[in-house]
Amino acid sequence: MVVLVTGASGQLGQAIESIAEKFPDIEFEFCDSEKLDITDYDNVNAVFNEFIPKYCINAAAYTAVDKAESEPDKAYSINVLGAQNLAKICKMNGTILLHVSTDFVFDGTKKTPYTELDEPNPTGVYGQTKLDGEEAIKELWEKHFIIRTSWVYSQFGNNFMKTMLRLGAEREELSVVNDQIGTPTNAVDLAEALIKIVESCHAELVSASNYGIYNFSNEGECSWYDFAKKIFEINNITIDLHPIPTKDYPTPAKRPAYSVLDKSKIKIVFGIEINNWADRVIS
């Protein structure tokens, strides 16, 4: 069973690679953007012809939320055209596509966890391009799983946790937003959930009716301030941490005020047990 992973140099790609040896029955092919540029149709086609993957995990994405506001064409190229290319070529090869999306497809005005049936309403370029990428996949290739996730962090790549650890080493005090509520997601937990979906498909434990959109994050909810506090606590860093409202930390892109995801569907369909975010913060 060949599983092709795009975006191999990103934090999710590296998280998948870090646990790949736990799955000896899977032949992973990890491709970074130099080997596989998802915006280049001919390149994607050539790589698929080389590896003949049964599954493709698309971990390649433009994720610079604020930068996307000034680079909409680049975000569109990767998040929409890239998704479109993968969907077309997956269909040609009969490859099942697992595509990672985001809580940013929602506007954050809800007060209860978002389900897969809630109406998306992105407020910025990043969220819009991720939603457009979802729509392109749904239109082109029925054998897909779109997994929406949130606040992904790990020891790999650039993310909130690594930023906090760096700032914690540099500063004596720090202010962090406390009125945006969501759920941190350990990238390794997300990687394991993606592989569980692959294994379930390969064992024919799912049917055609199970294709579609799923939510996955760790359990529980917190603010960015709460998350930062836990990171410093776990890593024994003493810092004077101040909670501040979003209005005191303006950014080019608007963040959802509330983006907790309901994981009932993925737990029921795939039998996935999900860790609480507070138990998965890395030291």
Active site residues: 126
Structure tokens, 111? 């007060």
- What is the SS3 string spanning the chain? CEEEEECCCCHHHHHHHHHHHHCCCCEEEECCCCCCCCCCHHHHHHHHHHHCCCEEEECCCCCCCCHHHCCHHHHHHHHHHHHHHHHHHHHHHCCEEEEEEEHHHCCCCCCCCECCCCCCCCCCHHHHHHHHHHHHHHHHCCCEEEEEECCEECCCCCCHHHHHHHHHHHCCEEEEECCCEECCEEHHHHHHHHHHHHHHHHCCCCCHHHCEEEECCCECCEEHHHHHHHHHHHCCCCCEEEEECHHHCCCCCCCCCECCECCHHHHHHHCCCCCEHHHCCCC
Cα distance between residue 148 and residue 138, in whole Å: 14
Rounded to 5 degrees, φ, ψ at 46 are -65, -40
Q: Are 151 and 159 in contact (CB under 8 A)?
A: no
Place of tokens 């819009």: 128
Structure tokens, 12? 């999710």
